[in-house]
Amino acid sequence: MKIYPVILSGGAGTRLWPLSRAALPKQLLPLVSEKTMLQDTALRTAGRAEMMQPLIVCGNQHRFLVAEQLREIKVNPLGILLEPVGRNTAPAVAAAANYLKAVDPEAVMLVLPADHVINDVEAFHAAIARASGLVKEGALATFGIVPTGPETGYGYIQSGDSLANGDKCYKVAKFVEKPNRETAQEFISAGNFSWNSGMFLFRADSFLKELEQFAPAIAKASAEAVTKGYRDLDFCRLDEAAFTACPSDSIDYAVMEHTKHAVVVPASIGWSDVGSWSALHEVQAKDEAGNVTRGDVYLDNVQNSLVRAEGRIVALVGVKDVVVVETADAVLVAHKDQVQRVKQVVDHLKDKDRTEHIYHTKVYRPWGCYEGIDMGERFQVKRITVNPGGKLSLQMHHHRAEHWVVVSGTARVTCGESVKLLTENESTYIPIGMNHRLENPGKVPLHLIEVQSGSYLGEDDIVRFEDVYSRT
């Protein structure tokens, strides 16, 4: 049986601010290992005979980062579907199912969020094997995590009758929303409840058949979004009008809570959805005092804490049960019992029209990245890196001039009708209103310093005339 992993790479991960931000959410960050969570998820299914190349579903704004991260780990995806807007998991999976059905009418989908941790990969694949026979016969399988305690942050699945034709597989009795602690303890004591992992295994045609019955509007809109979709470079863009008109709903609400074919496969696989900083602390290796650290960290009499330094030394003395996360433009300090309130910080930043919940100081682009290093009245300084072969759009600014100084590498600079090569320690000036472009024709990264000056320095002061990455 061929199994097609479908990796859902949407979401913002706001509870992991200040590291996770809208432009660089948690699934695209190396939170648990040296690889990003998306990369770990893709590699979890790689190299197995029954597993096909993955199909990725992500937001349009993350497309180049997703493609680059897969290239780094030498995973060639079956496709990357671009959602014009977020519509929850049911429409995303429905679009993937329609896409796969056209590729393979008997396709079996393994639906995986990109931002989960699974420490016991062999047990994970054993659970998939247990569900496979039932899925062939039309079952819609969900993987329930055998609980290790009365967790209130997860939904639960109650197991019903055991299935004779499935190894340790059960009918789904009911899905339960996140409970309070007393109710969660009752579930643990009952012994037939598991955490709802949000991972699924089913045939694409079986899922679509149930979706048409229980959520026909989602079924129709998602099918139309795929049919009217089109290729854009290495991506498949879902039709914007059709997908935007699609109702927003989760798989559980749209299908799994209604279908008679839902089965649950309880599994102990070392799973976590890493939904908060305290959850990240739980899944990582700790020192003898229970601390998890990353980066340049100094601890003195510190216990049971998570400390992450991205750029500077972070020193803690005489504290316990805290989370400290340092980035270039923000620092979070919280008690471990209060980390769910981080979302309120993000809401505050939104209300104040700030940008620290959207961007880091380093911003990634398909051609490379730039990082703000200084800013004042009427000026801004950036460090720019252009990857080999990278090419910025042919563009113009109404309100700012730019000075470029090459630090290393070779730059091809278009300024009006002039095209010239610059190398280390050479510079050029781009006047206000002048059409210009920066390229790296070399085989090593191009590093330069950009000094902007003018009355307005916002990123929206860009008029693009030509762009190889199809950006507007």
Query: Residue 18, preceding bond cis, omega within 30 degrees?
Result: yes
* pLDDT in the model for residue 107: 97
Instruction: Name beta bridge partners: 439.
Output: 391, 412
Domain ranges of the chain: 3-272, 284-346, 362-466
**Rounded to whole angstroms, how far apart are CA atoms 437 and 162?**
65
* pLDDT in the model for residue 166: 64
The number of beta carbons lying within 10 Å of the beta carbon of residue 301 is 10
- Spatial neighbors of 144 by CB under 8 A, at least 6 apart, are 157, 159, 194, 195, 196, 197, 264, 265, 266, 267
**Rounded to whole angstroms, how far apart are CA atoms 369 and 363?**
6
Architecture of 362-466 per CATH? Sandwich (2.60)
Q: How far is CA 44 from CA 122, 319, 380, in A?
A: 10, 37, 43
Class of domain 3-272: alpha beta
**Rounded to whole angstroms, how far apart are CA atoms 221 and 247?**
8
Strands 262-267 and 230-232: unpaired
| pTM for this prediction | 0.91
Render pLDDT for 129-155 as a digit per residue (tens, 0 to 9). 999 999 999 999 999 999 999 999 899
Helix (H) or strand (E) holding 405: strand 400-408
* pLDDT in the model for residue 12: 80
- Spatial neighbors of 230 by CB under 8 A, at least 6 apart, are 236, 237, 239
How far does Cα 51 stand from its chain's mean position? 21
* pLDDT in the model for residue 163: 87
Show the beta-strand stretches assigned E in 119-270: 140-145, 156-162, 170-176, 193-203, 230-232, 235-237, 262-267
Q: How far is CA 67 from CA 192, 284, 348, 354, in A?
A: 41, 27, 32, 29
Here the contacts of 306-311 (C-beta below 8 Å, separation 24 or greater) are 306/277, 306/278, 306/280, 306/281, 306/336, 308/19, 310/19
The amino acid that residue 303 corresponds to is Q
Residues of the chain scoring pLDDT < 70: 165-166, 472
Q: What's 28's DSSP letter?
A: G
